[in-house]
């Protein structure tokens, strides 16, 4: 879509902001985690599993939507319409939780709508960026999308904390913010119709699916994404337990550590475009290596200061990684394949969050799975991932399989 990359007038700026806000739905499904303690008090007879499902069930729904629903929908329907449809579900499910307080099952039902909305919209963010922007501008937008997400996550968590302090079900009013996002999408995002398979006038046919090598490369990207996410989430889950077990601080210190990690994600995401210019293909190695270094610093920490330093380094590596994986996945096929590629990346990322739960049992086969030993295990695992990436980047066995500029030009013309 020519001209949009350089479009920096007021309309273009609002377009950029609206695109960036779409990605918020990917992580704000978990903002309700702030209220889980109070929800447990409100439903004392509820099974702890159902209390946890208030947090995790939307993510399960997202995995299903990412893999099985979004790719075929994007082939048939306008992406703008899909995002607006998803936002309506997201808002109804999110805000609706404030009004269905009779049972835990009603809340979980509302959370299902949240998962449907987030599961449709989150993969479309990267796909929309892929269609509207080019080159470094595209990579910057992918980084900014994750950076804005991290920045807003901090703000939403603070607001959620205040609302929970008033009344536990008020936390769901946080989702009313997305009414503004819906209005911005409706007024600022251009129409993005489903791709046509042929050019009627010139009879030029264009493949909408990957060839064998491109499919294999996308699988490799997803495997990397899964490994990275699994071990990253272990750090995010266990950092609070580490600080508590090692008697390094109270809940305020734990919150500070989590905020430091989130701040690292924010900085890494916003600087992704710069790291791409500096490290180019080797950026694939930098991200897991940073997480490994940060986890190792936490592993050896005996005071809170090195823990905070390690948290920031882990966050910085994580902030680079998601736009990195998205950009690598999007580059494999043509623009018409962008929705499928991004859906796979986001789906694998969400699935990895659940697989992270089983790392503790795996580590327990070799050493006692204390929080400290888990940090050491993550460090070793991330170094192993980095070594595998070094071998891949140097060998470059799939060089030249990405969509060619000529193919891209045909994709835009069709």
Is residue 115 in a domain?
A: yes
Work out the average pLDDT over 172-179.
Answer: 91
The reply to whether 225 and 98 lie within a common domain is no
Gap between the Cα atoms of 186 and 37, Å rounded: 37
The reply to whether 30 and 145 lie within a common domain is yes
The reply to whether 222 and 156 lie within a common domain is no
Q: Please report which helix (H) or strand (E) contains residue 70, including its range.
A: helix 70-76
- Taking alpha carbons only, the member of 40, 31, 52, 15 closest to residue 150 is 31
The reply to whether 294 and 381 lie within a common domain is yes
Which domain does 262 fall in, by range? 212-413
The reply to whether 241 and 105 lie within a common domain is no
The reply to whether 147 and 278 lie within a common domain is no
Is residue 46 in a domain?
A: yes
pLDDT band (50, 70, 90) for residue 92: very high
pLDDT band (50, 70, 90) for residue 307: very high
The reply to whether 146 and 219 lie within a common domain is no
Where do we find the tokens 């030993």? 373
Strands (E) located in 132-213:
198-199, 204-205
The reply to whether 73 and 146 lie within a common domain is yes
Is residue 5 in a domain?
A: no
Is residue 206 in a domain?
A: no
Work out the average pLDDT over 202-214.
Answer: 60
**Is the pLDDT at 203 greater than 90, yes or no?**
no
Work out the average pLDDT over 247-267.
Answer: 83
Q: How far is C-alpha 245 from the geometric centre of its chain's CA atoms?
A: 29
The pLDDT tens digits for 212-229 are 888 899 999 999 999 999
Max avg pLDDT among 143-157, 214-228, 258-272, 330-344: 214-228
Q: 169: which 2 tokens?
A: 């079900």
The reply to whether 181 and 241 lie within a common domain is no
Is residue 207 in a domain?
A: no
pLDDT band (50, 70, 90) for residue 25: low
Stated pTM of the model: 0.74
The reply to whether 243 and 329 lie within a common domain is yes
- Taking alpha carbons only, the member of 225, 219, 192 closest to residue 323 is 225
**Is the pLDDT at 327 greater than 70, yes or no?**
yes
* pLDDT > 70: percent of the chain: 89
pLDDT at 27: 57
> How many domains, in total, are found in the chain?
2
pLDDT at 125: 81
Q: What residues are paired with 198 via a beta bridge?
A: 205
Listed residues 194, 223, 238: the one ending a domain: 194
Q: 28: which 2 tokens?
A: 């704000």
Q: 74: which 2 tokens?
A: 């994007």
The pLDDT tens digits for 372-382 are 999 999 999 99
The CATH number of whichever domain residue 326 belongs to comes to: 1.20.1250.20
For residue 20, give every residue at least 6 positions away whose Cβ sits within 8 Å of its Cβ, in sequence order, or none.
Answer: 141, 144, 145, 148
């Amino acid at each position: 879509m020519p001209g949009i990359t350089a479009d920096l007038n007021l309309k273009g700026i609002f377009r950029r902001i609206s695109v960036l806000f779409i990605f918020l739905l990917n992580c704000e499904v978990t903002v309700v985690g702030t209220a889980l303690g109070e929800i447990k008090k409100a439903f004392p007879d509820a099974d702890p599993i159902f209390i946890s499902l208030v947090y995790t069930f939307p993510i399960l729904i997202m995995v299903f939507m990412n893999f099985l629903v979004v790719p075929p929908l994007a082939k048939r329907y306008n992406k703008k319409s899909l995002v607006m449809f998803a936002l309506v579900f997201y808002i109804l499910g999110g805000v609706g939780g404030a009004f269905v307080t009779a049972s835990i099952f009603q809340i979980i039902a509302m959370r299902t709508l949240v998962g449907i909305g987030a599961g449709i919209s989150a993969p479309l963010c990267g796909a929309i960026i892929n269609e509207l922007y080019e080159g470094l501008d595209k990579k910057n937008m992918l980084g900014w999308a994750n950076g804005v997400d991290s920045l807003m996550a901090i703000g939403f968590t603070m607001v959620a904390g205040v609302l929970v302090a008033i009344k536990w079900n008020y936390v769901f009013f946080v989702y009313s913010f997305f009414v503004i996002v819906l209005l911005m999408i409706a007024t600022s995002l251009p129409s993005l119709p489903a791709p046509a398979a042929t050019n009627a006038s010139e009879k030029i046919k264009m493949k909408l699916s990957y060839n064998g090598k491109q499919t294999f490369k996308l699988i490799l990207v997803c495997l990397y994404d899964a490994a990275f996410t699994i071990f990253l989430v272990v750090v995010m889950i266990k950092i609070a337990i580490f600080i508590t077990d090692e008697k390094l601080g109270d809940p305020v210190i734990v919150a500070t550590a989590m905020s430091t990690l989130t701040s690292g994600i924010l900085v890494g995401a916003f600087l992704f475009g710069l790291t791409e210019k500096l490290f180019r293909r080797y950026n694939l190695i930098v991200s897991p290596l940073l997480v490994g270094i940060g986890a190792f610093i936490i592993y050896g920490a005996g005071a809170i200061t090195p823990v905070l330093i390690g948290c920031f380094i882990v966050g910085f590596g994580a902030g680079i990684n998601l736009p990195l994986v998205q950009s690598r996945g999007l580059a494999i096929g043509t623009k018409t394949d962008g929705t499928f590629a991004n859906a796979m990346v986001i789906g694998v990322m969400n699935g990895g969050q659940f697989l992270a739960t089983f790392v503790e049992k795996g580590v327990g086969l070799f050493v006692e799975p204390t929080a400290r030993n888990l940090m050491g295990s993550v460090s070793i695992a991330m170094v192993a991932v980095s070594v595998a990436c070094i071998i891949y980047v140097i060998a470059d066995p799939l060089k030249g399989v990405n969509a060619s500029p000529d193919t891209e030009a045909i994709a835009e013309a069709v």
